[in-house]
Amino acid sequence: MKIKKIIPIIILLIMVIAGGLKYFSLKEIDKNNIDVFKYIDCVDKVSDNKIQVNWKYVASIIGVINDNNFKNVSNSDIEKVSQLFIEEKNGSYKLKKLENVLDGLEFNNKEKSRVNDYINDLVNYGVKPSSLNPNSDNIKFINDIKQDAIDNYKVYKILPSITIAQAILESSWGKSKLSKDFNNLFGIKADKYWNGEYVTLETKEHVDTTINDKFRKYNDKKKSIADHAKFLSENKRYKANGVFNANTYIYQAQALENAGYSTVANEKGELTYADMLINLIKQYNLQLIDSEVQS
C-alpha cells in the first residue's frame, strides 16, 4: 500500500522537475546554436530591395516556435517567418510591426513575452559578438552619429547603415585628422562649389604622390553627414545608378560602387567598396537601424 501511494508522488515530482528544467531551458535564447550568418543571409534574401527585415526578430520568433531549439532550422523556415514582416500594397512595401506579426501567429501573452525576452538577449549579439561590446570605442562612435544618420535618411534617403559604414571607412572610426579636428567624416574636398570654411592638408593623390589639397571644414559631425548626402544628391551619376531608389543596404552599397564612389579594388582588379560596406554593416548590425526607421 505504501509503495502504491509513493509511486504517484514520484511521478508528480518527475513531472515538476521536468517542467522546471524545460522552463529554464526556455528562459534565455540559445545563442550557441544560432547561425547568425545564416539568419542574416536568409532575412536579406527576403528583404531583397523591398524593405529591411530585422533578423533578431525572426530568430526570436523561431526560438519560441521551436522551444529554443535552433539545430534543425532550415533556410525555408527562416524565410517564411521573414516574409511575415513584409506587407505589399500597390507595388510598395511596408514593414509590419513586431506586435502585428505576433498577433498574426496567434501567440499568447506568455509567448509574446518570451519573444521580447529573446530579442533583449540578442541586443549585443551578432556575427562577431566581441565587436558589439557597448563600452568599446567603435560602438561609441556608431552611437555618436546614429541619430544624425537617421535624421539624414528622412531628408535624403541614404540609409543610416550606409551613412555610418561610410563614415567608419572614410574617417577610420573617427580617428583621422580630418574627422577629429575638422568634423569631416567623409574626406570631402573643398571644390569650386564649396563656399564654407576649409583646411589645407597633405594627401596622397596616387600611391607614391603626396600633394596639398583643400578639404571642407564643419562645425560639427551632423553638418558633415548632411553635406555628404547633399553632395551625393547633387551628383547626377548617383541618381542614375539607383542610389536613391535602393531600399536595403546591399542594393545601396552596390549602387554607390557602380556610380564610382570609390575605385578601391583587390589584387584581381575587382571593385570591393560595396563588399567592405556590406561586411561592416553585417558585423555591427547596422542594418537593424534601417529596420527601425522603416517600420
* Residue 13: pLDDT over 90: no
The mean per-residue pLDDT over the stretch 1-9 comes to 56
Alpha carbon distances (Å) from 203 to 139, 186, 189: 28, 14, 11
What span, in angstroms and rounded, lies between the C-alpha atoms of 40 and 248? Answer: 13
> Which whole number is the average pLDDT over 170-193?
94
CATH architecture of structural domain 132-294: Orthogonal Bundle (1.10)
pLDDT of residue 15: 47
- Provide the pLDDT confidence category of residue 22 given band limits of 50, 70 and 90: very low
Confidence (pLDDT) at 3: 58
The Cα–Cα gap between 193 and 277 comes to 28
Cβ atoms 253, 101 nearer than 8 A? no
**Strand, coil or helix: what is 133?**
coil
How far apart (Å, rounded) are the C-alpha atoms in residues 116 and 252? 30
Q: What is the mean pLDDT of the chain?
A: 91
* Model pLDDT for residues 223-245, shown as the tens digit of each residue: 999 999 999 999 999 999 999 99
pLDDT at 26 over 90: no
CB 58 within 8 A of CB 82: yes
Please, are residues 127 and 36 in contact by the beta-carbon 8 Å criterion? Answer: yes
Q: What is the pLDDT of residue 255?
A: 98
Region 32-47: mean pLDDT is: 97
Residues of each domain in the chain carrying CATH 1.10.530.10: 132-294
